[in-house]
Amino acid sequence: MASTILVTGATGTIGTELVKALTNRGVTVRAGVHSIIKGDRLKHLNPDVQLVEIDYHKPDSLAVAFTGVERFFLLPPPTADQVELARLLLDAAQKAGVQQVVQLSAAGAGRDSQITIDRRHHEIEQLVAASGLSYVVLRPEGFMQNFATQHCETIRDEGKIYMPLAEAQVAYIDVRDIAAAAATLLTTDSAAHAGQAYHLTGPAALSGQQVAEALSQATGRTITYVPISDDEARAAMQDLPAERVQEMLELYADYRAGHAAAVAQEVATLAGHAPHTIQQFAHDYQAQFQPEA
């Protein structure tokens, strides 16, 4: 099926993997980026990727981004005005005659969660459902790749993972599996998925200690999970905006309450392969956890 697919949030962790997953599927991939210069690295994935600059304050840029697009991946920036940005994208998609949207939501958006992040995603889900477009919603749990970004420095320099999770377990998912599921949905004509919401998880619920053990095995180093308090976590995130810190603390509390431990089977169904294990993730990313020479 030849078509043009727009990926918003294309330079992010998930967006980059989705662009990669789509480039081998016989479709034209258009990557929505904040700046063409920042998006240039996507050309290294495939020189045929189309880069288009999206400026939410310039409606013309949205119209250009959606010209000729049949399907798109909805992932507005995770800012306080995320719902409004999603609305702008959906309005532009409607005007352009887009047929389908695949939305990246959050696991907690499907239940009565009071977490700020979940509430925003729930509002966006409602906008998507009311858009008139054929749609599918993906609700992933926490990302394994966060260990290679948010926690990379302390793992690399101290051999420690600091999180306020106590002994809570989370069914962490590799973002490559999210991208594979999204790529399938964006390149499949089947109406069976229309209007569905899929909970995406890894193959097991993991404690911080189990994550540390997998990283230790992959790196040949001793990496330790150190449970900390919310106050200690807040101090460690002092360089982040206050609202972002609060959102993260809410999420950690939700994890401690056991809301992220359920394991789902949707990745195998949608992606056609078993989800990556924490051991596979640790092996593939182990270079990022090694001390700098």
Q: What is the pLDDT of residues 81-109, one digit of tens each?
A: 999 999 999 999 999 999 999 999 999 99
Same-domain check for residues 135 and 230:
no
Count helices and strands (H / E) in the chain.
12, 9
- The fraction of the chain above a pLDDT of 70, given in percent, is 99
Label residue 1 by pLDDT band (50, 70, 90).
very low
- Whether residues 44 and 165 fall in one domain: no
Answer yes or no: is pLDDT of 2 > 70. no
Assess contact for 34 and 54: CB atoms under 8 A: yes
Query: Residue 222 in contact with residue 187, Cβ under 8 Å?
Result: no
**Same domain assignment for residues 279 and 241:** yes
The answer on 101 and 55 residing in a single domain is yes
Which CATH number covers residue 73? 3.40.50.720
Q: Backbone dihedral region of 195: left (phi > 0), alpha (psi from -120 to 50 degrees) or beta?
A: left
From 182, 200, 218, give the residue that closes a domain: 200
Instruction: For residues 133 and 277, state if they share a domain.
Output: no
Model confidence over 110-146: pLDDT tens digits? Answer: 887 889 999 999 999 999 999 999 999 999 999 999 9
Looking at the structure, do residues 70 and 161 belong to the same domain, yes or no?
no
Task: Count CA within 13 A, CB hemisphere, residue 173.
Answer: 32
> Do 129 and 159 belong to one domain?
no
Domain boundary among the residues 158, 184, 200 is at 200
Total tally of structural domains belonging to the chain: 2
Structural domain span for residue 216: 145-169+203-263+272-289
| Together in a domain, 8 and 128 | yes
Residues 128 and 211 in one domain: no
Q: CA angle, corner 266, sides to 265 and 271, nearest 5? A: 120
First-to-last C-alpha distance (Å) of the chain: 47
